[in-house]
Amino acid sequence: MNGRKYKTLLLVAIALLLFACNSPTPAPVPDSPQSGTALAAARTRVPERKALATQQAKQTVQALAGLTGAKGSETPGASTPGTPVAGESNTPAAQPTAANATIAATSTAEPSLTPSWTPTPSWTPTASWTPTPSWTPTLNPTVTGTPSQTPSPTTTLTATPTITATTAGGGGTRVAFVAARDGNREIYTMLRDGSSAVRLAEAPADDSAPAWSPNGTRLAFHSSRNGNFEIYVMNADGSSITRLTTATGDDQYPVWSKDSSKIAFTTDRDGNQEIYSMNADGSSQTRLTLSTKEDGGPQWSPDGAKIVFTSLRDGDAEVYVMNADGSAQTRLTYNTAYQGDAVWSADGTLLAFVSAENGNKEIYTMKPTGAESKRLTTSSGDDVAPQWSPDGSKLAFVSARDGNNEIYSMNNVGTEQVRLTSNSADDSAVRWSPDGSQLLYVSSRDGNAEIYSMLANGSSQTNLSRNRGADVEPAWQSK
């Protein structure tokens, strides 16, 4: 068995020797990115490889000769030097030579560069500010007090009227409003059908809060054209603009007495907001309220003898009344919630106001003495901004009971509450026409705030201002 094994190994060694002696010279190498020097060096290594193979073959033959001489003297289980053992190689490892060190393949592949990052925009500018068309101060203090009002019976709502596409109004009485069409707020007027719009008080500042004199001949407003807000008046056509107040604070929100002889307004010229009055020409400016908290929202009684207002002097918003000269200031409401925004009925026998006595804001009425308080609305949303019809038989108001602000009307005892507007946008700032046949209001249903009109039953809803700028604060000319 061993003899056959040795014979086989001898034949393998002879074959290796013959191969080394007869190895052919490599064929010419075609052109490649290698330089000519590298190609010449590769060819000179052929004889070296042949010499190495010959040396290895000789060593194998010598090893076999040694094994043959040792045959017969082997000890089972022992490993004699030079004897093959399972799992080992008895062929001497090739020693590193200078020739071997130079046989290193030269890579000709070009690296493939794949970008690992692609820049993407990290910021896209978006419009982050939308101007609010108007601002009305709201008194929302922490409230304390004693409840005095009792709720009225639940009212029944009637169906919303069908709205037609006919045009409301028909010329005659004009409408004043505020528009930001030219970059800042200015006073405009137009006919009641929306035609003949005219800008009245052009200035590089804000003009707001237009208020028609009851005789219909003049407009009062506040303007910041001289730095801080002051009260101004002008004729109905915009002529004869006259500054009435000159103070270091802001004088705002003018309100005419019913005989057009006086103007009440709010001012912070004395450190906090108080109510003043003056003659229609700006003379005899008189401070009517004197408290450490804000007083605002003055409204003249129809006979001009009294002024109702909202005050925070007792720690919460309450309704007060005083004589036109500021005397006999009397608190009318007592509750732990907001109460304010009082307005007179046409005959002066009732006040409509807003109270949050029952959680959300609702419409109430009471006598000018504070007696006979009665809740008119009962809804899950806020009912605010009551406005008496000229004959005192109805109240228009704004309600969020259906999800967004809509215009409603009801009888003066709270019955027949009717939703007049119905859309997904907010409708607000409702105002009766002098004859009670129409209502003005502000709506954003067409994308921006516009002045709309409708008949008193909610029909013929019409966009009057039709402009890309905000049109707000509508006011009917009285005559």
Q: Indicate whether 35 belongs to any domain.
A: no
Q: Given this model, what pLDDT does residue 11 score?
A: 63
Whole-number average pLDDT of the chain: 77
Rg, the chain, Cα only? 50
430 shares its domain with 304: yes
243 shares its domain with 364: yes
Q: Indicate whether 180 belongs to any domain.
A: yes
Q: Given this model, what pLDDT does residue 150 score?
A: 41
Q: Record the pTM.
A: 0.67
Q: State mean pLDDT over 430-453.
A: 96
185 shares its domain with 312: yes
CATH number at residue 211: 2.120.10.30
Segment holding 3, helix H or strand E: helix 2-22
* Overall number of domains in the chain: 2
Provide the sign of the torsion angle of the four alpha carbons 29, 35, 36, 37, taken in this order.
negative
The strand pair at 417-419 and 157-158 is best described as parallel
Q: Indicate whether 83 belongs to any domain.
A: no
Q: Given this model, what pLDDT does residue 235 score?
A: 97
- Which residues fall within 8 angstroms of residue 311, CB to CB, at 6 or more apart? 289, 291, 293, 294, 295, 296, 317, 318, 320, 331
Q: Indicate whether 81 belongs to any domain.
A: no
231 shares its domain with 377: yes
Helix, strand, coil shares of the chain, percent, nearest 5, are: 15, 30, 55
Nearest-angstrom CA–CA distance, 426 and 112? 62
Query: Which pLDDT tens digit goes with each residue over 85-95?
Result: 343 344 434 44
Q: Is the pLDDT assigned to residue 166 strictly greater than 80?
A: no
Higher-confidence position of 201 and 109: 201
Q: Indicate whether 324 belongs to any domain.
A: yes
55 shares its domain with 181: no
Beta strands per DSSP E along 378-470:
383-388, 394-399, 406-411, 417-419, 427-432, 438-443, 450-455, 462-463
Interior CA angle at 51 toward 48 and 55, to 5°? Answer: 140
Nearest-angstrom CA–CA distance, 13 and 59? 9
Which residue in this structure is represented by tokens 């925004």?
A: 341
Q: State mean pLDDT over 432-443.
A: 96
Q: Is the pLDDT assigned to residue 142 strictly greater than 50?
A: no
55 shares its domain with 177: no
The secondary structure of 171-229, three-state, reads CCCEEEEEECCCCCCEEEEEECCCCCCEECCCCCCCEEEEEECCCCCEEEEEEEEECEE
Q: State mean pLDDT over 95-116.
A: 38
Higher-confidence position of 102 and 461: 461
| pLDDT interval class at 48 (50, 70, 90) | low
Domain that holds residue 7: 1-20+51-59
Higher-confidence position of 432 and 26: 432
411 shares its domain with 273: yes
Q: Is the pLDDT assigned to residue 74 strictly greater than 90?
A: no
Q: Is the pLDDT assigned to residue 316 strictly greater than 80?
A: yes
Nearest-angstrom CA–CA distance, 260 and 83? 133
Q: Indicate whether 97 belongs to any domain.
A: no
Q: Indicate whether 100 belongs to any domain.
A: no
300 shares its domain with 448: yes
14 shares its domain with 163: no
55 shares its domain with 189: no
Order of strands, sheet of 198-199, starting from the edge strand that comes earlier in the sequence? 198-199, 186-191, 174-179, 471-476
Q: Given this model, what pLDDT does residue 13 score?
A: 54
Nearest-angstrom CA–CA distance, 266 and 297? 8
Provide the sign of the torsion angle of the four alpha carbons 33, 36, 38, 40, taken in this order.
positive
Q: Indicate whether 78 belongs to any domain.
A: no
